[in-house]
A = this chain, B = another copy of it.
Amino acid sequence: MDKIEILDVKSQIIEDNDAAAAEVRDKLKKSNVFLVNLMASPGAGKTTFLKRTIEAIRDEYRVGVMEADVDCDVDARTISETGAKVIQLHTGGSCHMDAYMTEQGIDKLGMEDVDVVFLENVGNLVCPAEFDVGAAKKVMILSVPEGDDKPLKYPLMFSVSDLLLINKIDTMPVFDFNMDALREHVKELNPDMQIMPVSALNGDGFDAWISWLKEEIKNWRENR
């Protein structure tokens, strides 16, 4: 009997996705568009965070946003108030964005009149971490109400991200959130990752985040 070929479906999916992500990355470089993959739990404050971010950078960059959700368009409507170019992506029940969906998104959004694009991924700390979408940077938001133990439970997300924003720091007095413990947990997974406390509600910490973003855009443009 011939040798039976075994296909590890999950590995194959990830491998195919990585190849598609490389294509997306290449396309974005050619168009000079800096893509940020923004990942977080449901309700961590991604949309409010994005709104304030766009307001802070829109004089300098033309901003595009891809809002990925299983359903509805409330986030896209909120973001459109900033004047940013925005499209809503429905994932068809999928709990994460992959590189193929991202490519469809950027083709639909159009790359000719944007400099920076944010992909607001589906609210989920598990699968979005596994799927490279071809972004220049992966930015993760953890919110104070979620607790400081999340790196223990969702290690991959903390391992693959380039920057960790701790949002809703204005609610620190109400929650038992130990920032030192959080830093210790993260350090074990991703020793070099910067951690920035922010409040999308009142703007605390945004200067540091916006500086980081501008610096990363500058470096990326020089090296692309």
A residues apposed to B, CB below 8 Å: 41-43, 69-72, 74-75, 93-95, 122-127, 130, 143, 145-147, 149-150, 152-156, 168, 171, 174-175
Contacts and interface: CB of A to CB of B under 8 A. Distances in A.
A145 B123 contact: no
Contact of A95 (B74, B124, B168, B175): B124
Copies in the complex: 2
Given A123-B125, A125-B123, A155-B71, A150 B43 contact: yes
A98 to B, nearest CB: 14
Contacts of A74: 149, 152-153
A202 to B, nearest CB: 12
A123 B43 contact: no
A125 B145 CA distance: 17
8 contacts: A41-B123, A42-B153, A43-B146, A43-B150, A75-B153, A95-B127, A123-B153, A174-B174
A152 B72 CA distance: 6
Contacts of A153: 42, 69-72, 74-75, 123
Q: Is the interface of A mostly helix, strand, loop or mixed?
A: loop
A78 to B, nearest CB: 10
A90 B156 CA distance: 14
Contacts of A93: 126, 130, 156
B145 A171 contact: yes
Nearest to A177: B43
A42 B154 contact: yes
A126 B71 contact: no
Contact of A70 (B42, B75, B123, B155): B155
Contacts of A171: 145, 171, 174-175
A131 B136 CA distance: 34
